[in-house]
A and B are shown apart, each in its own frame.
Chain A
């Protein structure tokens, strides 16, 4: 015989349920991500680069724009090739550049710019892409068709050309460079979000919200967007290195960051010009950049595996 369910039973059940800590999707994802060794190491290395970029310049003996003509294009003291013209000596651990500035502090400054361009441009593309994609997907019909048609048009030329044109217009303004890169990188984000929105808006809870009288804008903001975040976050980790690359690409061509400020692209460009006599000017910034890009790629791969429900 089944005992009738009393209030006491229910309260008891609820109390016990409160003690059990639920494993949310995000907890699971984090656990899986940390179990992925490549991703974990990448997170640590990237963290170290970020900390060095933010705090490193405060502890170094030289300012990023301090010019010392007595050590022009000098190798670091520990450089293995004895045939170099001069050794920078002292605390120039990465040697000096072609006007005698300390390369270590400039590499770290480059890291600051490159990492912040990655973050800001990604943020811009995230905001535009999510808003655009969610609106198009949720409204559907002709508006959706028109909006996505526009995305297709922009897609048909490589986005770097658009950024170059935007840079010509903005006259190589430092901050607008970040925005310009973000402003052209939202296309894929918009497509992803739209696709996700199309499936989310069929769900019962959206219908319930609509029945409850929530406005379209409210539904998009509180019900659609939070539910499309999984794929979006994976794409975000891929947009950050893409933005870093775009900025460095432009700087390499002379269309990006201007002296005396610097970024990895500028440093690699300078290093490429001087590599016959001063290879360290190319090697250090290039190594920093390559390691950073690797880290982001591994984290992106790890996140995709961690968030992909098919893999469970």
Chain B
């Protein structure tokens, strides 16, 4: 398995290389440069600025300069956020994005598994249909609709439960205070909860009909022991292969959620970089995302082999 992991990591290098190359040249084809302003700069100053950022050289030279720097982990200066390098901006935003991303993944796994299992145990009951209809809504209605609506309900109108004001802040980070985390994490997790619940229900129903569960039942084990100790283990396997798409979904969703709630993460840098043509920033964030997805996918695959002894990756 170790050699498999190494081989996969080596295989990721050409993938990353192609992504970097594609985006680099696509960005350079784009009309309009990062230093196009309403007011034209005096030619000498413009020339100096371009020279400082190596933009006066031919594109292929810029490409090799960029690759060389990237190999040392240097993503260059941000074109728009003066005095900041892309590395600094990403180092700034990454902990924030990672915090809401990881929290909502865990929340989604927990709640999705629970809802899916309950629906499967009460198959074709009102609980089952209710859960699955809500899940269908969670899948269909996009983050950028659910987000504002939840904000409207919990943030703007506010809620009072037993005389306590439980309204939540509509945005901001506030150093990662719990109250500021709840809404973004929930909005980010909702679609994943829905998908996971559906997958979980399907596999749980299948597992509950399998022979070894019948054996366990014949032995006289309690329902609780059957579900927790026997059925759940096998039923979570399909979830592991969904982890990859789930991670991609959370990353995509974070673009909207960070924008919506004004959270200073890398998703917001990406969107702002795209809006004002901050080439290096956009590329830097994209390289980060691609690396993260490749590595997390690899972890998911390895996890699958650990959890399911039937899976053995070829040498």
Q: Which A residues contact B (CB, under 8 angstroms)?
A: 150, 152-153, 156-158, 160-161, 164-169, 171, 241, 245, 248-249, 252-255, 265, 268-269, 271-272, 275-276, 279, 282, 286, 289-290, 293-294, 297
A158 in contact with B251 given A164-B274, A254-B275, A297-B136 (CB within 8 Å): yes
Q: Enumerate 6 A-B pairs (CB-CB under 8 Å) in ascending A order.
A: A153-B14, A153-B15, A241-B140, A276-B156, A289-B145, A290-B145
Cβ contact of A255, chosen from B26, B156, B275, B293, cutoff 8 A: B275
A157 in contact with B142 given A168-B27, A168-B274, A171-B31 (CB within 8 Å): no
The answer to whether B293 touches A157, judged by C-beta atoms less than 8 angstroms apart, is yes
Q: Tell me which residues across on chain B come within 8 A of A269, comparing CB atoms.
A: 144
Nearest first, the 8 closest Cβ-Cβ pairs linking A and B are A272-B148, A169-B30, A158-B248, A252-B144, A286-B145, A293-B140, A158-B252, A157-B290
Binds A, one of B50-58, B161-169, B202-210, B254-262: B254-262
The answer to whether B286 touches A165, judged by C-beta atoms less than 8 angstroms apart, is yes
Q: Is there a chain A Cβ closer than 8 Å to B103's Cβ?
A: no
Q: Tell me which residues across on chain B come within 8 A of A241, comparing CB atoms.
A: 140
Q: How far is the CB of B143 from chain A (nearest CB, A)?
A: 8
Q: Is there a chain A Cβ closer than 8 Å to B265's Cβ?
A: no
Q: Tell me which residues across on chain A come within 8 A of B293, comparing CB atoms.
A: 156-158
Q: How far is the CB of B240 from chain A (nearest CB, A)?
A: 18
The answer to whether B255 touches A253, judged by C-beta atoms less than 8 angstroms apart, is yes
Q: Is there a chain A Cβ closer than 8 Å to B228's Cβ?
A: no
A153 in contact with B18 given A271-B148, A275-B151, A275-B152 (CB within 8 Å): yes
Q: Tell me which residues across on chain B come within 8 A of A297, comparing CB atoms.
A: 136, 139-140
Q: Which B residues contact A (CB, under 8 angstroms)?
A: 14-15, 18-19, 23, 26-27, 29-32, 136, 139-142, 144-145, 147-149, 151-152, 156, 248-249, 251-252, 255-256, 259-260, 270-271, 274-275, 277, 282, 286, 289-290, 293-294, 297
Chain A binding surface SS class? helix
Task: A216 to B294: give the CA distance in the assembly, Å.
Answer: 36
For A290, the closest partner residue in chain B by CB is B141
Q: Tell me which residues across on chain B come within 8 A of A169, comparing CB atoms.
A: 26-27, 29-31
Task: A200 to B18: give the CA distance in the assembly, Å.
Answer: 32
Q: How far is the CB of A259 from chain B (nearest CB, A)?
A: 15
List 9 additional A-B contacts (Cβ < 8 Å) besides A252-B259, A272-B148.
Answer: A158-B289, A160-B252, A165-B23, A171-B30, A171-B31, A255-B275, A276-B152, A282-B152, A297-B140
Q: How far is the CB of B28 from chain A (nearest CB, A)?
A: 9
Task: A171 to B31: give the CA distance in the assembly, Å.
Answer: 7
A249 in contact with B289 given A165-B274, A272-B260 (CB within 8 Å): no
Task: A157 to B270: give the CA distance in the assembly, Å.
Answer: 14
